[in-house]
Amino acid sequence: MSFEEYLGQMKKMIDELKAMSTSLGLSNTGDEYKIISELFTYKFLNDKLLFEFENRSDKDEQFDDFVDLAGIEIAKMRKKHLIDHLYHQQNEDNFHEIFDLAFIEVNELNKEIYNIETASGKKKPLFEPLSAYIRDENKELELAKRAINILARYSFKDIYKGGFDYFSSVFEYLIKDYNKDSGKYAEYFTPLFAGNIMAEILYNDTPVTNVSLYDPSAGSGTLLLALANKIGTDRCSIYSQDISQKSTQFLRINLILNKLAHSLHSVIEGNTLTNPEHKNGEELLEFDFIVSNPPFKMDFSNMIETLKADKYNRFFAGLPNIPKKDKNGMAIYETFLQHVIASLSEKGKASVVVPTGFTTAASGIPKKIREKLIRENILRGVIHMPSNIFATTGTSVSIIFIDKTKTDDKVMLLDASNLGEKVSLEDGQRTVLSEIERNKIVTFFKSRKEEPEFSVLVTNDQIINNSFSIQAGQYVELKEENLDYDIDSRLNELQNEIRRMIDKSSKLDEHILKLMGV
């Protein structure tokens, strides 16, 4: 079976799990995504374990011995926890309790790997018993039996050589119905092509080892995964923080899917702004690469006093004022961007999504941030993206690239806002870039190639003299239009034509006045 066929089978299984949830009255409840994501993850780990066991180098090695010696990329399960074994117990009157116990015991076997930490220090297990999500006890057994029948119906043991490009499609499909709250604090999902563009530009293709990747508003981890797979999942460690329980759960699944379980201990559920958890003693931990698509606006007025007393000295440009009417208009991205700058190592690089208005704001925090980036010569460039590339916002966005290894005084400005094709998707109209367009953006930016009305390389002094504006349109050269006629001759023709029209109009006026007897 091809990867495409396996992908179709995985999506079909997800659809069946969602249909099961709907028929049990769990659709659109707060716990539905937990049930679906837990069952999907259990199935994934079950089949991956069986795949690794069947392909073990020592064919005489017994199952339990193999599990005991398995590395962190393989979940530990006993035979009694396997889906096939559970399937054959479904006629037991207490099968729902048997299924729940399997979840609990698998948690215990894998607690050193798959548990993640909240900002309060509490450890959150990978699985909760299914009964925890059911308010009606009479449905517990039905849920367990229907779930095990769906999971047992499919086999995905032969797909685990696939990597991010494959599983990102599965992951996007898994969470698409639960990606509703992202305009608040966390963006659960960033389009894969945007993540790939950021990764391609941020990483210069020079092999590295043991580098750190960080996202302070990680959502479901698309940006981190794109960059990690570009660098090599075995050559980097991921660090993340996000206040959202839902997005942190999705991020954990994403890391497991993509052979990054070794970084799960660095996934934190908590408020990055008020309680940044990745620290070196009393100082912020500094990272080699940072990517982020932070929320743009939201009411965080209740945090302002805490942030004013920030002991990490992050907010050099200040904090947004609290609007008197609409507090939801507070520009929270400005605080995240300052946090990113404060968290970069001496040779660090960062890529951050911002509203395009940031690039031209004439005063306030955005201008102060731009001034710092230019005066310290760490702004590598800016890309203006097409509108509606994100499912959750129609706001025009730009991607800024910060690079502390930069040596010259040039900044690459690229206007891709007119690229892409508008398509209608389930979540509304979206602008999608073709592969040719994506490659053009990356190639032009990395090679610093200029093209009229598309890209331009400017100096820091030019930006300083233009009030620190970093909008490409204010610098790019306009295309020269080749005319197939002589402009002077054409102007003479137009002038003569206008004279004839005026003369004709005067004669017509005289004729009308005569008819009126005036």
pLDDT digits (tens, 9 = 90+) for 159-190: 776 665 556 677 777 777 776 544 343 344 57
Q: Has residue 395 been placed in a domain? A: yes
Q: Taking CA 93 as the corner, what is the angle to CA 87 and CA 95, rounded to the nearest 5 degrees?
A: 40
Please name which of 238, 303, 242, 244 lies closest in space to residue 274, comparing C-alpha atoms.
303
Answer whether 115's CB lies under 8 Å from 125's CB.
Answer: yes
Query: Over 51-67, what HEC string results?
Result: HHHHCCCCCCCCHHHHH
Give CA separation, 288 vs 199, 258, 299, 453, 487, in Å.
13, 21, 31, 33, 56
Statement: residue 191 has pLDDT above 90? no
The predicted structure's pLDDT at residue 393: 58
The predicted structure's pLDDT at residue 71: 86
Statement: residue 482 has pLDDT above 80? no
Q: Has residue 87 been placed in a domain? A: yes
d(CA 26, CA 11): 20
Minimum mean pLDDT range among 200-204, 354-358, 385-389: 385-389
Instruction: pLDDT band for 480, please (50, 70, 90 cuts).
Output: low
Q: What is the DSSP letter of 420?
A: S
How high does pLDDT run on average in the chain?
A: 88
Quick one: 500 and 464 in the same domain?
A: no
Quick one: 281 and 216 in the same domain?
A: yes
Q: Has residue 342 been placed in a domain? A: yes
Please name which of 347, 359, 348 lies closest in space to residue 474, comparing C-alpha atoms.
359
Please name which of 114, 348, 108 lies closest in space to residue 211, comparing C-alpha atoms.
348
Quick one: 415 and 284 in the same domain?
A: yes
Q: Has residue 218 been placed in a domain? A: yes
Quick one: 394 and 353 in the same domain?
A: yes
Minimum mean pLDDT range among 144-148, 162-166, 378-382, 474-478: 162-166
Q: Residue 186 has which token pair? A: 């966390």
Quick one: 26 and 78 in the same domain?
A: yes
Instruction: pLDDT band for 469, please (50, 70, 90 cuts).
Output: very high
The burial class, CB within 10 Å (0-12 / 13-18 / 19+), for 99 is buried
Q: What is the pLDDT of residues 326-382, one digit of tens each?
A: 999 999 999 999 999 999 999 999 999 999 999 999 999 999 999 999 999 999 999
Q: What is the pLDDT of residues 31-82, one digit of tens each?
A: 788 888 899 899 989 999 998 999 899 999 999 999 999 888 889 999 999 9
The predicted structure's pLDDT at residue 10: 87
CATH of the domain at 358: 3.40.50.150
The predicted structure's pLDDT at residue 193: 84
Q: Residue 414 has which token pair? A: 């690229």
Quick one: 288 and 406 in the same domain?
A: yes
Tell me how long the chain is: 518
The predicted structure's pLDDT at residue 98: 97
Total domain count, the chain: 3
Quick one: 142 and 248 in the same domain?
A: no
Q: Has residue 480 been placed in a domain? A: no
Q: Has residue 126 been placed in a domain? A: yes
The pTM score is: 0.84
Quick one: 210 and 90 in the same domain?
A: no
- With a pLDDT cut of 70, the percent of the chain lying above it is 92
Q: What is the DSSP letter of 159?
A: -
Quick one: 153 and 255 in the same domain?
A: no
The predicted structure's pLDDT at residue 337: 98
Q: What is the pLDDT of residues 283-339, one digit of tens each?
A: 999 999 999 999 999 999 999 999 999 999 999 999 999 998 899 999 999 999 999
Statement: residue 126 has pLDDT above 70? yes
d(CA 241, CA 219): 8
Q: Has residue 479 been placed in a domain? A: no
Quick one: 357 and 329 in the same domain?
A: yes
Q: Has residue 426 been placed in a domain? A: yes
Q: Which residue do the tokens 């398509």 mark?
A: 423
Better-scored residue on pLDDT, 479 or 197: 197
Statement: residue 272 has pLDDT above 80? yes
The predicted structure's pLDDT at residue 2: 74
Quick one: 96 and 226 in the same domain?
A: no
Quick one: 283 and 302 in the same domain?
A: yes
Give CA separation, 90 vs 18, 22, 43, 52, 62, in Å.
20, 21, 16, 26, 26
Instruction: pLDDT band for 122, please (50, 70, 90 cuts).
Output: confident
Residue 451 phi, psi (nearest 5) = -150, 130
The predicted structure's pLDDT at residue 171: 75
d(CA 151, CA 199): 35
* 3-class secondary-structure state, position 518: coil
- With a pLDDT cut of 90, the percent of the chain lying above it is 59
What's CA 266's distance to the chain center, in Å? 18
Range of the domain at 508: 485-518
Listing DSSP states for 65-128 in one string gives HHHHH--TTS----GGGSHHHHHTTTTSTTHHHHHHHHHHHHHHHTHHHH-EEETTS-EE-S--
d(CA 143, CA 39): 11
Q: Which residues contact 254 (CB under 8 A, 6 or more apart)?
A: 171, 220, 221, 222, 225
d(CA 412, CA 184): 31
Statement: residue 145 has pLDDT above 90? yes
What pairing do the DSSP bridges indicate for beta strands 116-118 and 410-415? unpaired
d(CA 93, CA 78): 22
Please name which of 31, 67, 65, 61 lies closest in space to residue 48, comparing C-alpha atoms.
67
